Structure 1
């Protein structure tokens, strides 16, 4: 067990920290969020602190030192080794300490705070220097991992063959020691950060003398055992203290996992951006064959050699469709080889020579050259999503299994990689385990996720035995337990398999010199707990969580709510500020509680019956965590593990509010189709009331914001006029006119019908079908299921005619929610036939149709979240380009209204903040462009942002393609 300080009761600590003015949170919901990182472990902290500057950090550690409470520094919380969680106070530096202080292009350095996200730093540097310089380390988590965390783990990334590890880019580190002392570690020693701080000057002097004595006393052992291969990250990097390495204390602290000092600032080195690049995708029959070609490829000085195996590709196809990996050449394993240089001619010539050598070896099956940057990004995503995708593997027989970290990070010398992998596969078979292999082949570093069973004692025994055997195997091949992620809880216990007792003694001394009381992240590297201690899945009770949705467990069985919420493994992609659509609320607030991961962690504590969230379905912690979820469904697509928080939210609210009074908006907006059936009979009267002073009273009673203009309600007569003189009949296509279109935009229904008929097709118009969406989003699932059951019966007519739904969110509900709420053969048959209108336009065009409408040359597209998640990321853009509109500006991000969310009084401000992520900037960039908003919520937000209340402020795709546009534009 760890020899860290004894954790004392929480209240004295809270009182002490309260006097320091530090932002501190000890609520049970917050503790649940920070009990996990991206590892297998769960360790509830005493409190979570959000320091704003180095002085705050110093006050926190000084106070904790007095209280005998350990401190764990945390960045983005993406650690896969369990080194960002602990039993004391967790310091989240990503919340406030995230400034880029300065960028010095002349000296090629950047000064940053520890919470700066890696991708933001590289983007800022490239922008400042005109794409001449960048920050090099690029782990797959770079769009949410922070500088502080990368320094703690000595993270590397895809291009480490060229640029090395994070430590290779550290110039100096400003740190806080466990007693609050502030020092600066440099490439040649230690000094007081404030030269006028006498105590710090003395501490720096004494610590420098002790470190020099340590290096002198263990000089031979450091030279023999440390720094042997490029990715030797396990343990402390004490070879940097040797005289030949300049007594580099800064780099000695890199990779120390927050056990010796807390980084509060860093000066980082910048590198040149190559002017030309070419990606080669080389296909192989086997990962071992791929590994054997690595040494040949290294002769050509590539920037990256990354590898993936067939299991990741199969999972990508199953999860995101065959087109997501369509550019890969045929094979069962692939190497991504990045070549770069000063000009295209030289790079391509180098590629020719490399390919000639590879063909001579005879292992490569095929190769594809990728010049286009957009294609390169798409292909890199397959590799970069490996950790998440491989957590739920698709097997050849159609079943799936769950895999976990624990041995995801071993490394050997590149020339030993093939033999290591061959032996490793034998080891997996011997223990009855499956492993998916991907990683940094060029550096000999493998990420291997394995099908450990952590839930049962027998499974944990197998896991422990396997990890010990794996440690011995990698050492046999001259390798390291960790090549990037650090040792943490996952591997620290195994370090004696790799290092001699003498080196382990030196590690303990190094830790003690910096942190005599073992206050900083105890149990990492030195004095660890067993690798199977504190496993998050070890003690989850097998309780029957009855659900209305049919939620599938890892083996495809139904009813698995506990398993469904465990899909989140903490990779944290939902914490990114760019790329994809998720998670709009986190991007608006920057708070862990508003990330998909934060919500999932609170739900995970709920199903495990944790004391912090023990009320189950009645939990206020879970309700609060879900409050700002927009139910946009983007996580179900963007999250590599397929977390579907919108569904979990609907299920939770359904149980939470049973027998309780619901929020007013659940009745006003949740029952909207019912109200629209009534308002259609008296629309003029309703519109007159909404134009009177009674409007504000009515909105407040309904729980709605008064800051958002409401649309006019449409009458039945208006809908009939739009659809006239349509002839009833079976038709070639079933056109579903949803409640939103009937109630607010009947002109869209008329346009959609004319577009279908413009292709020479007859449409059967259905105005009696309800998808139940408003009841689903407010968690009124029995009502939703009744409506969906009726819809399934109405639409299951024995044909395979496409069911074209005008409103994308309703189409998504019929495609995805219908079979999960109404698990009948009819529901599944109907769901398979459902299309969005944009999908149908692409199909019509593929069938030879040419629109007769006069088309605009440019369109600004608001990507619809539900359409993006359920039907594909570029459904609307594909339709526009199919009909010949090439000038497309895409606002890829949630509009902020998202059904009922943006109309609710308490959510208006967040709704507008979300709009600023994509839609508002796109509208400002081209104010004269035609705006495409297929979703009614998006349409209302566009009207709000442009200040134009007219229904034509933004258009549905059907209106853009309406044949009447040709007639109206004719002389």
Structure 2
């Protein structure tokens, strides 16, 4: 890109080795691991990567499970290959004998090896925060020295970081002497330290016989430093060569030849915190929306289809293949907003966020922890606060309010919803797509059933205690049989079940449409109902994943100054989490049953779906788990203009799984949106975990 533009490339593929295994070597620290590189490369590994303990701590801090590692604070991940398993194992045995590691673990299981490699794969994003949670930036991204000098270089580099009082997480290609690091240099307030540090770091790497850019090129960040690495005569040759190919200087101007100063175009120079507007607290980002949106450092995992590995991000990009619809693309636009280059109400901002499903998958799948659903909600809040909103915000965003009235006349509402012309008119008036069917209300909502019937079925002398069932608006109005199944199940365990005295709401639909003041009002009423139960040590069991996730994640973010919020959020459990915590509980065996499971996006990304997987495994069922969003995503797939994208997203996972399922397979989905999408697009009737456990 500096001397020409590549138009065509031909690659030769190499076959994968017949057998591979992973050897993890533990050392006192990463520098000590680098000292041992000669022993490692002597067995001809196909990959050697170094990981610092602090990076592993970051993985754990993000709530991700880390397989057992050998003792140490720095590790080498060494992949060995052979013509067969015995040949690979023999190489591993030789390495274990010759390496100077504190401890060793040989991993032959591909799944366990893949879990460890994911730590390294996510390194670029995870390293965007220091161990103290401060933003860390590129600039000294991939310096390399001869492998034999790497240990000494790392010790000197650690001293240099100490002198400048900066920190960063190290990882990289130790077998090639190339290390990656991002540093918490104060780019906004003291960019002069950025220049001074990079200059001293350049002198350091040259003293060790290395290169400023071991892998990614020089670019704006390092081209000015090339005068430390190359003589004037060599740089003059560079300039002459560049002039032959690009006499007009249009390719990468300011790079390599006549470089721009390395600190001339810092986007964060002078950028202060974004003033709070009364929306989310952004507690994990120091209360600063600017820090939050700058979590994105362009790793681009949101461009990958990770469905095979069970990932959910990013459903809209998988449907459109347009960069603007990636999490990264949206973050870039919001970065322009907080830098003052765009207004919150700019058309580019609306276009960027329009197809975000608020699935929250980026919150767990993005290694940098970008949470675009929250950023979208905050953006809508800032854009429309005190202004007239789109029709669907009033209709779909306030749906629990309208359902409270509709459940009083369910048969009349259902009859009106079946009348084609009336339904289409009503959907258009509400800002919804007329191609959507109106979900049918239950003839009796759960709370009405509860008052007349369920209370008589309660455990009279509960042996296990009392639990509160959070019966959300959707379960109450549309699927009361799910709540009935949950009550029966909990009673069978000896628990007495209680409900909040009145119907309260998590505010989810207000949150997703950016009506955060309304969401806070509802959450305060929720705290009024839940506080006494939680204060007495009780737990709250949620049935609808999106509502359960709102209580656990959004409640403390929207009411950070309410002392009741965090204890209540901490007391919220999914049904699967609660059941697995019962010491004597064992699920029924169903080895003859086949199920197709659609995890709700918020269940996957916020709550964690592993407890449900464990229950299905204990039941012995034949399970097909769908990866990716169902495409309805609350109000997203209902809104006018989103129908085609909603169906396209469903076509990535949900619809093929249902079409390929056997005739006796049961569709399992705890989420109301997921069940609705399957019913409307594939005539599939969904079951909840509570119903499956009761054999329904």
Report the TM-score range of the alignment, normalised by the length of the smaller protein: over 0.9
Match for residue 70 of structure 1?
Answer: none
Aligned in 2, Cα 1:947/1:469: closer, same or farther, shift over 3 Å? same
Between the aligned partners of 1:778 and 1:879, the Cα distance in structure 2 is 34
CA contact (8 A) 2:446 2:476 kept: no
Correspondent of 2:490 among 717, 739, 756: 756
Cα pair distance change 1:353/1:886, threshold 3 Å: farther
Match of 2:248 among 499, 506, 517: 517
From 384, 392, 400, the counterpart of 1:665:
392
Residue 353 of structure 2: aligned partner: 626
C-alpha distance 354-728 of structure 1, shift in aligned 2 (>3 A):
closer
2:222 aligned with 1:491, yes or no?
Answer: yes
Shift of the alpha carbon at 1:516? 1.3
> Residue in 2 aligned with 1:412?
145
Q: Paired residue for 1:702, among 412, 430, 437?
A: 430
Alpha-carbon distance between aligned partners in 2 of 1:873 and 1:515, rounded to the nearest angstrom: 55
Report if aligned partners of 2:283, 2:557 keep a CA contact under 8 Å in 1: no
Q: Is the 8 A contact 1:289 1:418 kept in 2?
A: yes
CA distance in 2, matches of 1:761, 1:851: 16
Deviant stretches of 4+, over 6 Å = none
Q: For 1:268, what is the secondary structure of its paired residue?
A: coil
Q: Distance in 2 between matches of 1:682 and 1:750?
A: 21
Q: Based on CA coordinates, which of the two structures has the bigger radius of gyration? A: 1
Q: Which residue of 2 aligns with 1:775?
A: 510
- d(CA) in 1 for partners of 2:270, 2:592: 60
1:820 pairs with 2:586: no
2: CA distance, partners of 1:906 / 1:838: 36
CA distance in structure 1 between the partners assigned to 2:588 and 2:541 by the alignment: 20
Aligned to 1:281, the other structure's residue is in SS state: strand
Contact 1:775 1:783 in 2 (8 A): yes
| Cα displacement (A) at 1:266 | 0.4
Of the three residues 900, 903, 911, the one matched with 2:646 is 911
Matched residue SS, 2:80: strand
* Structural mapping, 1:424-503, within 5 Å: 424-456=157-189, 459-503=190-234
Give, in whole Å, the separation in 2 of the partners of 1:318 and 1:676: 39
Counterpart residue number, 2:658: 923
SS of 2:160 mapped into structure 1: helix
**348, 364, 368: which one aligns with 1:641:** 368
Q: Which residue of 2 aligns with 1:594?
A: 325
Q: Report the 3-state secondary structure (helix = DSSP H, G, I; strand = E; otherwise coil) of the residue aligned with 1:762.
A: strand
Aligned position for 1:743: 477
Aligned to 2:56: 313
1:714 counterpart residue number = 442
Figure out how many residues of one structure are paired with residues of the other and give that number. Answer: 681
Change (3 A) 1:728 1:818: farther
TM-superposed deviation, 1:719 = 5.3
1:955 paired residue number: 687
Counterpart Cα distance in 1 of 2:278 and 2:316: 26
Structure 1 residues 568 and 684: alpha-carbon distance in aligned structure 2, compared to 1, 3 A threshold:
same
Separation (CA, whole Å) in 2 of partners of 1:841 and 1:870: 18
**1:529 is the counterpart of 2:256:** no
Partner residue, 1:577: 305
CA, structure 1 residues 447+663, in 2 after alignment: closer, same or farther (shift >3 Å)?
same
Residues 164-563 of structure 1: pairs in structure 2 closer than 5 A: 258-321=1-64, 324-358=65-99, 361=100, 364-394=101-131, 399-456=132-189, 459-552=190-283, 554=285, 557-558=286-287, 560-563=288-291
**Equivalent pair of 1:733/1:804 in contact (CA under 8 Å):** yes
Residue 898 of structure 1: how far off its partner (Å): 0.5
Question: Contact between 1:679 and 1:715, CA under 8 Å: does it hold in 2?
Answer: no
Provide the C-alpha distance between the structure 2 equivalents of 1:854 and 1:372, rounded to a whole number of angstroms: 28
* 8 Å CA contact 1:284, 1:331 repeated in 2: yes
1:189 corresponds in structure 2 to none
Superposed displacement of residue 542, structure 1: 4.8
Q: Alpha-carbon deviations, 1:548-589, whole Å to 9, x = none?
A: 2111364xx43x122222222221211212242111111111
Q: Which string of whole-angstrom CA distances, capped at 9 and with x for unpartnered residues, describes residues 226-254 of structure 1? A: xxxxxxxxxxxxxxxxxxxxxxxxxxxxx
- 1:757 to partner: Cα distance: 2.1
Deviation at 1:622, TM superposition (A): 1.6
User: Structure 1 782/596 Cα, relative in aligned 2: closer, same or farther at 3 Å?
Assistant: same
Structure 2 regions of 5+ residues with no counterpart?
none
Describe the shift of the 1:886–1:446 C-alpha distance in structure 2 as closer, same or farther (beyond 3 A). Answer: farther
Whole-angstrom distance in 2 between the partners of 1:681 and 1:325? 50
Q: Are 1:391 and 1:404, in contact at CA under 8 Å, matched by a contact in 2? A: yes
Tell me the distance in 2 between the aligned counterparts of 1:413 and 1:699.
66
Contact 1:732–1:764 at 8 Å: present in 2 too?
yes
The answer as to whether partners of 2:446 and 2:475 remain within 8 angstroms in 1 is no
Correspondence for 2:598 among 853, 862, 874: 862
Decide which moves more: 857-866 or 729-738.
Answer: 729-738
Pairwise mapping of residues 835-874 of structure 1 onto structure 2 (< 5 A)?
835-844=573-582, 847-852=583-588, 857-874=593-610
Q: Following superposition of structure 1 onto structure 2, how do residues 19-34 of structure 1 map, counting pairs within 5 Å?
A: none
Using the alignment, how far apart are the partners of 1:717 and 1:603 within structure 2? 42
Is contact 1:867-1:875 (8 Å) kept? no
Please, what is the CA RMSD of the aligned residues? Answer: 1.9
Report the Cα distance in structure 2 between the residues aligned to 1:638 and 1:412, rounded to whole angstroms: 32
Which stretch of structure 1 is more off in the superposition, 847-856 or 772-781? 847-856
3-state SS of 1:265 partner: coil
Per-residue deviation, 1:765? 3.0
In the alignment, structure 1 segments of 5+ residues that lack a partner are 1-257, 966-971
Is the aligned partner of 1:898 residue 2:633? Answer: yes
- The aligned residue for residue 619 of structure 2 is 884
- In the TM superposition, residue 326 of structure 1 has moved relative to its aligned partner by 3.4
Shift of 1:541: 4.7
* 1: CA distance, partners of 2:559 / 2:168: 36
> What TM-score results when the alignment is normalised by the length of structure 1?
0.68
Q: 1:330 & 1:529 partners in 2: Cα distance?
A: 46
Tell me the TM-score normalized by structure 2: 0.94
Q: 1:349 and 1:727 mapped to 2: Cα distance? A: 63
Task: State the secondary structure of the residue aligned to 2:145.
Answer: coil
